[in-house]
């Protein structure tokens, strides 16, 4: 459903817009009342827009508001006010209560998961091949139609494959199907539940749920508080930003619009990707190609890196120690402007976790997605046409900008190796989507990928397919490719690998 302006997408945008509006406009004494009014602004009369009743609709909207302010959902068995915890969150600092991803219980429809059922398409044929192939005798004929005994069914799917009318449906919970690491479980009431010990924050479950029952936490409220306080806020924008706010909206217009929101400046995270490409090219040439280490895993995708660390801890040494583009860019900004606060703006939900990790200092003060930034533009009534004359001087190379698409990381590193370390044979493997990433890691662990540079992307399609994008994957990828072709400088300098950012 990405890229389709569904009712659910409009609802999410409306919640973010209203939270941003309150953050920009409300005085300290009015914040609580304004926050409490948001569910009523979304459903202003007695006619529900998304659910069967205004009461359920407003209850769910209230939980969305809490998540949009970085707060956790309220417990179902205790009376907790909508604005409970607001004082802690109403600060100009990075803030949210873990976990990042949460299922809103009142919004979850308790979808059936991995169940085979006979639909009304069954014609009651004479052959009954479904009965014949069932290994457990779970299918019988009742009133001429097939019926599956769920207590006997082993979910093998053989009946579905042989049905000539496709009358047997395989019902799978969308969020569970989208989760490549099987972190979606079921609670006592049949609703979805996220196993936070397994979850890596990619957000694909959030994209898949047609009821919007899965949502992540936002920092837009705290970011706007920092802007209102007068902090020097610098935007570090991911390469996938091109095209997100209109086909003809360029980097210059985006920079102008960000300044209208209160940002002091804008820089490309593709600059950090250039550093990463040079560093990882050097590591491959000097460590993998020489046999010092069996293979190398790229490090720029936090969901991929977290998957490797959580499920394949013995392979931690094979993960590149290069700084991720986000971190490298943030450190570069703070070296030049130590009084600034850096906001990473990108397509990725998992970056919110990376920014807060303790093992490597990120130097990132806030993380927001393109979807959240779009709501901020709406809240302030930004018209990109007002910035048509604004320009942005290219900072990055085509290689760094290509990091946004699946295969773009290894492509950039390979080009650097071929240019600066001629004669070295480069073996490339890449996987996108956590299920494919997990399979790739299993093969690497088994010694099947020795000598390889392995790129992993948690989202199918790469960063352009992140949970916080505004476009379809194809359109976002085309926008990035177009920018790459128009970029004059194609590769980063070899010497970038020598840059040390403390």
Tens of pLDDT, residue by residue over 280-332, are: 999 999 999 999 999 999 989 999 999 999 999 999 888 888 899 999 999 99
Q: What average pLDDT does range 154-173 have in this prediction?
A: 96
pTM over 0.85: yes
Q: What average pLDDT does range 465-487 have in this prediction?
A: 95
Q: What average pLDDT does range 171-200 have in this prediction?
A: 95
Are 23 and 224 in contact by the 8 Å Cβ rule? The answer is yes
Distance CA(66)–CA(138), nearest Å, equals 46
Domain 7-110+175-221: give its CATH architecture. Answer: 2-Layer Sandwich (3.30)
pLDDT at 251: 96
**Structure-block tokens of residue 465:** 């397919």
Distance CA(38)–CA(14), nearest Å, equals 9
Give 494's pLDDT tier (boundaries 50, 70, 90): confident
Are 100 and 218 in contact by the 8 Å Cβ rule? The answer is no
Q: Which fold, 115-171?
A: Alpha-Beta Plaits (3.30.70)
pLDDT at 273: 96
Tens of pLDDT, residue by residue over 353-370, are: 999 887 777 899 999 999
Among 243, 200, 469, 226, which residue's Cα sits nearest to residue 342? Answer: 226
pLDDT at 501: 44
Q: What average pLDDT does range 467-477 have in this prediction?
A: 94
- Identify the weakest region by mean pLDDT among 132-146, 364-378, 381-395: 381-395
Q: What average pLDDT does range 202-229 have in this prediction?
A: 96
The answer on pLDDT for 173 being more than 60 is: yes
Residue ranges matching CATH 3.30.70.20 in the chain: 7-110+175-221, 115-171
pLDDT at 127: 96
The answer on pLDDT for 500 being more than 70 is: no
pLDDT at 11: 94
Long-range CB pairs of 305-314, under 8 A, 24+ apart, other chains included: 305/456, 306/200, 306/201, 306/350, 306/353, 307/181, 307/200, 307/434, 307/437, 307/438, 307/441, 307/456, 307/458, 308/441, 308/456, 310/198, 310/200, 311/181, 311/438, 311/441, 312/441, 312/445, 314/445
Q: What average pLDDT does range 254-276 have in this prediction?
A: 97
What is the number of alpha carbons within 13 Å of residue 484 lying toward its C-beta? 22
pLDDT at 27: 93
């Amino acid at each position: 459903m990405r890229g389709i302006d569904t009712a659910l997408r409009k609802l999410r945008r409306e919640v973010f817009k209203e939270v941003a509006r309150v953050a920009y406009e409300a005085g300290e004494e009015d914040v609580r009342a304004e926050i409490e009014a948001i569910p009523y602004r979304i459903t202003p009369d007695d006619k529900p827009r998304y659910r069967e009743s205004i009461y359920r609709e407003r209850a769910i909207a209230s939980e969305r508001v809490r998540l949009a302010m970085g707060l956790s959902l309220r417990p179902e068995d205790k009376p907790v006010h909508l604005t409970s915890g607001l004082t802690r969150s109403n600060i100009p600092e990075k803030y949210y209560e873990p976990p990042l991803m949460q299922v809103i219980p009142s919004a979850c429809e308790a979808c059936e998961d991995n169940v085979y059922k006979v639909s009304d398409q069954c014609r009651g044929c004479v052959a009954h091949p479904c009965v014949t192939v069932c290994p457990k005798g779970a299918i019988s004929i009742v009133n001429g139609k097939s019926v599956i005994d769920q207590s006997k069914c082993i979910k093998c799917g053989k009946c579905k494959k042989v049905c000539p009318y496709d009358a047997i449906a395989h019902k799978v919970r969308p969020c569970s199907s989208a989760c490549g690491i099987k972190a979606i479980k079921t609670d006592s009431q049949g609703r979805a539940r996220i196993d936070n010990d397994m979850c890596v924050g990619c957000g694909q479950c959030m994209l898949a749920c047609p009821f919007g029952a899965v949502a992540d936490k936002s920092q837009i409220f705290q970011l706007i508080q920092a802007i209102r306080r007068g902090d020097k806020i610098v935007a570090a924008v991911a390469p996938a930003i091109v095209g997100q706010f209109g086909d003809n909206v360029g980097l210059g217009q985006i920079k102008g619009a960000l300044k209208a929101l209160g940002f002091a400046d804008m820089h490309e995270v593709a600059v950090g990707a250039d550093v990463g490409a040079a560093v990882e090219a050097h590591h491959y040439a000097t460590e993998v190609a020489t046999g010092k280490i069996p293979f190398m895993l790229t490090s720029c995708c936090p969901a991929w890196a977290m998957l490797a660390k959580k499920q394949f801890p013995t392979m931690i040494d094979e993960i590149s120690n290069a700084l991720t583009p986000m971190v490298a860019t943030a450190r570069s900004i703070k070296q030049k402007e130590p009084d600034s606060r850096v906001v990473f703006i990108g397509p990725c939900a998992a970056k919110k976790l990376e920014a807060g990790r303790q093992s490597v200092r990120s130097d990132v003060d806030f993380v927001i997605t393109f979807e959240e930034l779009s709501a901020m533009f709406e809240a302030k009534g930004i018209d990109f046409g007002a910035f048509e004359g604004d320009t942005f001087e290219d900072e990055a190379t085509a290689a760094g900008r290509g990091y946004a698409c699946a295969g773009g990381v290894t492509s950039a590193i390979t080009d650097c190796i071929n240019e600066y370390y001629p004669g070295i044979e480069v073996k490339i493997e890449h996987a996108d989507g956590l299920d494919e990433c997990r399979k790739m890691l299993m093969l690497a662990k088994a010694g099947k990928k020795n000598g390889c540079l392995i790129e992993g992307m948690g989202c199918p399609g790469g960063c352009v397919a992140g949970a916080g994008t505004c476009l379809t994957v194809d359109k976002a990828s085309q926008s990035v490719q177009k920018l790459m072709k128009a970029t004059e400088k194609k590769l980063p300098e070899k010497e970038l690998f020598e840059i040390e950012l403390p």
